[in-house]
Amino acid sequence: MGPETRKIEISGLHIGGGGPLMVIAGPCVIESEEVVFETARQLKEICARLGLPFVFKSSYDKANRSSIKSFRGPGLERGLQILSSIKREIGLPIITDIHSPLEAEKVSQVADALQIPAFLSRQTDIILAAAKTGKPVNIKKGQFLAPWDMKNVVEKFTSTGNTNLILTERGTFFGYNNLVVDMRSIPGMRAFGYPVVFDITHSLQLPGGMGTHSGGEREFAYPLAGAAVAAGADGVFLETHPEPDKALCDGPNMLPLSEVEKLLLHLKRIRAAL
């Protein structure tokens, strides 16, 4: 796995520092209270059975869709109300995307950790605003960035004095409408001293591959996720839905909720073998 990274705490749970594999998971976007509550409850039970720390993720807004017709979610106010209910009623820490510096402080009042989407990973103002909340922040490496480019992102973030940072690998552009994962990225980014997460489902994405929305190849979840954990990933990120083919966002690359436990057990065994 290489040298250990800094241990980052999210509401009493830890990632990095040689601890267990963290799971960050949930539906791509809040499309209904029923779906997010059902998914959150089942994921909590699955991770409890496997002994894996779990942080729930869902987005209140998908602000970077290809088409103006794409479903975006309930928006900031209603979305934060729903996430707050999940946190309170199910007892889960919450992470969610922010899309502008102005959202950082308001979201930090509800979320236990913030996430910077890949397309915004070079945007200085949003990185600084997220860091200044003092919360843990997960920054996804842009598809257009080399792993070593993330050193500049780390320096931006830590310039505020906040060192509660997680980095995520989610694939690199491989021609038009395709992604490829260079597993060297995981030890490469871990060398900066911060835990690295592998984003399973977005690495399966075919960006814009369906014309007005993204396609995906979820059949490759096992080999990519297994390789990432073997390469030293400190956690995994995945988006899941009870019925992905009926989901309003990123359905082709989301995993069926019924298949998540089997995949996580597979990854836990790989981690143990290290």
pLDDT in tens, 25-84: 999 999 999 999 999 999 999 999 999 999 999 999 877 755 666 778 889 999 999 999
CATH class for domain 8-273?
Answer: alpha beta
Domain boundaries, the chain: 8-273
Position 175 scores a pLDDT of: 86
What are the pLDDT digits (tens) for 147-178?
Answer: 999 999 999 999 999 999 999 999 999 988 88
- Report the alpha-carbon distance of residue 45 to residue 60 in Å, rounded: 23
Q: What is the pLDDT of residues 111-126, one digit of tens each?
A: 999 999 999 999 999 9
Per-residue pLDDT of 183-223, as tens digits, reads 999 999 999 999 999 999 989 887 665 554 455 677 889 99
The pLDDT of residue 250: 66
pLDDT given at position 224: 95
| Residue % of the chain over a pLDDT of 90 | 80
Q: pTM above the 0.75 mark?
A: yes
